[in-house]
């Protein structure tokens, strides 16, 4: 089937829409993070107060701020995922516009190599099949266990 | 993400200097030593693993704790970071309290 409109401008448009969405959300999250940072600092200052009641409130404020800082990291993962989709759209646009287009396998390998999260690799493999030579994704349980982990070498 | 790391560290009394990417961090580091570096892996211009490698080549950063904070949990990438000279590998989302405990360990051991 041939589309009645050329595909490259549509891919470019989709990538541009994602870019605008990323920029808008980044500025709002920056503002929100600044507010939570101010609460975290206030909580730390209250913790050092001589009045035990104020210090106790400070512990609660600091703990709530830490919970908020943890929860807000959803945006970082979301933004990375959107960037990878945007970049994949760009890769497809460039491939279609190239005088000698790359092979489908080469294009898919480039797109998969951009991923930084196991969720992304697993989804790619489920939908498109594994790419020859690409590292296998971790098992679900292994990946979940690694979230938030700290390993000192 | 930088805001969240900064808020966590400042709430514990640490002074924080930020860089937008690896290249900017390296340029800063060439002029001044710091006690600790926490870097993302995926960054424009210079990624975190290259930054670690470059920092380890600087005289003032041979023993500095260099932590990589990333969504990347693959063993291959982690080993790459270790080979470059990273001190530790933290998989996002990071737990603020756990990060502060890690820093206490690092500074307590140095």
CA distances from A44 to A40, A57, B10, B93 (A): 6, 10, 9, 22
Nearest CA in chain A to B89: A151
Q: Give all domains of chain B, ordered by start, each with its CATH number.
A: 2-103 (3.40.50.2300)
Residue A27 predicted with pLDDT over 90: no
- Residue B93's pLDDT is 87
Structural element, H or E, at residue A135: none
Is some CB atom of chain A closer than 8 A to the CB atom of B15?
no
Is some CB atom of chain A closer than 8 A to the CB atom of B87?
yes
- Residue B17's pLDDT is 94
pLDDT band (50, 70, 90) for residue A138:
low
β-pair type (A150-152, B37-40): unpaired
The percent of residues above 70 in pLDDT, for chain A, comes to: 87
β-pair type (B66-70, A150-152): unpaired
B88 contacts A151? CB cut-off 8 A: yes
B38 contacts: CB under 8 Å, gap ≥ 6? B5, B67, B69, B90
Residue A74 predicted with pLDDT over 90: no
Which candidate, B40, B103, B94, places its Cα nearest to that of B68? B40
Pick from B7, B90, B92: CB nearest A37: B7
B79 contacts: CB under 8 Å, gap ≥ 6? none
This prediction has a pTM of 0.75
Determine phi and psi for A150, rounding to 5 degrees. Answer: -120, 125
Q: Residue A127 class from Cβ within 10 Å (0-12 exposed, 13-18 middle, 19+ buried)?
A: exposed
Residue A140 predicted with pLDDT over 80: no
Least confident interval from A122-131, B30-39, B43-52, B76-85 = A122-131
Is some CB atom of chain A closer than 8 A to the CB atom of B83?
no
| A–B CB contacts, 8 A cutoff, strictly below | 109
Average pLDDT, stretch A91-118? 90
Average pLDDT, stretch A108-132? 86
Is some CB atom of chain B closer than 8 A to the CB atom of A148?
yes
pLDDT mean across residues, chain A: 85
Residue A26 predicted with pLDDT over 80: yes
- Residue A149's pLDDT is 77
What is the CA B20 to chain-centroid distance, rounded?
13
């Amino acid at each position: 089937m041939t589309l009645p409109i050329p595909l490259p401008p549509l891919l470019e448009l989709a990538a541009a829409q994602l870019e605008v969405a990323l920029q808008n959300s980044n500025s709002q999250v920056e503002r929100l993070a600044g507010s939570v940072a101010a609460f975290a600092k206030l909580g730390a200052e209250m913790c050092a107060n001589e009045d035990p009641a104020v210090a106790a409130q400070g512990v609660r404020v600091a703990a709530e701020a830490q919970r908020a800082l943890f929860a807000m990291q959803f945006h970082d993962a979301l933004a990375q995922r959107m960037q990878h989709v945007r970049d994949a759209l760009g890769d497809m646009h460039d491939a279609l516009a190239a005088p000698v287009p790359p092979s489908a396998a080469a294009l898919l390998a480039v797109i998969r190599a951009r991923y930084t999260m196991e969720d992304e690799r697993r989804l790619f493999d489920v939908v498109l099949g594994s790419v020859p030579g690409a590292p296998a994704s971790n098992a679900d349980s292994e990946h979940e266990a690694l979230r938030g982990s700290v390993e000192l070498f | 993400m930088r805001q969240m790391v900064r808020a966590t560290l400042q709430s514990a009394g640490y002074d924080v200097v930020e860089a937008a990417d690896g290249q900017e961090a390296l340029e800063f580091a060439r002029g001044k030593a710091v006690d600790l570096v926490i870097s993302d892996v995926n960054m424009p211009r210079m990624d975190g693993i290259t930054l670690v490698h470059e920092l380890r080549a600087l005289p003032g950063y041979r023993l500095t704790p260099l932590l990589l904070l990333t969504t990347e949990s693959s063993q291959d990438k982690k080993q790459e970071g270790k080979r470059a000279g990273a001190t530790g590998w933290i998989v996002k989302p990071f737990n603020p309290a756990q990060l502060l405990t890690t820093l206490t360990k690092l500074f307590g051991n140095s």
